A and B are shown apart, each in its own frame.
Chain A
Amino acid sequence: GAGVSQSPSNKVTEKGKDVELRCDPISGHTALYWYRQSLGQGLEFLIYFQGNSAPDKSGLPSDRFSAERTGGSVSTLTIQRTQQEDSAVYLCATGLAGGQETQYFGPGTRLLVL
């Protein structure tokens, strides 16, 4: 596709359930990033992939959060045993690696944990 796509666009889940969020990057983009946008915290970095490896996982808030990327393409962010404080918009961005390169953002997945 022309842009970064994310699915689902909205997800409502019950506390304690696991959720998976998907990101489809722009074709050819080797770098992939996950961010979280929440009312209290603003936009926070979660994890960065270069190809299938994740050299920077420093933003993952707890061990309930994990992510993988396969084939240098699609990425999945998994949150286990969701908590109410996990409610946020999860944004995926992709680009070419390198500090000067632009990160292109997807529309996000709005997660609500009840």
Chain B
Amino acid sequence: AQSVTQLDSQVPVFEEAPVELRCNYSSSVSVYLFWYVQYPNQGLQLLLKYLSGSTLVESINGFEAEFNKSQTSFHLRKPSVHISDTAEYFCAVRDFGNEKLTFGTGTRLTIIP
């Protein structure tokens, strides 16, 4: 991938409100798509990934992301956030045939009680 764009560097959201974290990418080849999460004082963890098949993928903690090929997007959504979702979220892309991940600059999600 040539680039990954996360337009929102910070997103404050009230508890139990919905949230969408945006991710767009540019690439000349097909890609795999990932969302990683970094909780405070912890390392990066995989949240969910799109490889093939259904364009809607879900995580175990209620997040979902939808791959939109025509818009080259992979936005992350959750219908109702919790305090424990406070973290930084990174979108990443991996070109077919390539090993490296290209990351966006991250979105810091802050939950307001």
Binding site for B on A (CB under 8 A): 31, 33, 35, 42-45, 48, 50, 55-56, 58-59, 91, 93, 97, 99-100, 102-108
A-B contact count (CB 8 A): 55
When chains A and B are docked, how far (Å) is the Cα of A93 from the Cα of B97? 18
Contact in complex: A33, B99 (CB < 8 Å): yes
Contact of B100 among A42, A48, A50 (CB under 8 A): A48
Contact in complex: B44, A45 (CB < 8 Å): no
When chains A and B are docked, how far (Å) is the Cα of A100 from the Cα of B96? 9
Binding site for A on B (CB under 8 A): 32, 34, 36, 42-46, 49, 51, 90, 92, 94-106
When chains A and B are docked, how far (Å) is the Cα of A97 from the Cα of B97? 10
Contact in complex: B46, A100 (CB < 8 Å): no
Given A35-B103, A50-B99, A107-B43, 12 extra CB contacts under 8 A? A33-B101, A44-B103, A45-B101, A56-B99, A56-B100, A58-B100, A97-B99, A99-B98, A104-B46, A105-B36, A105-B44, A107-B42
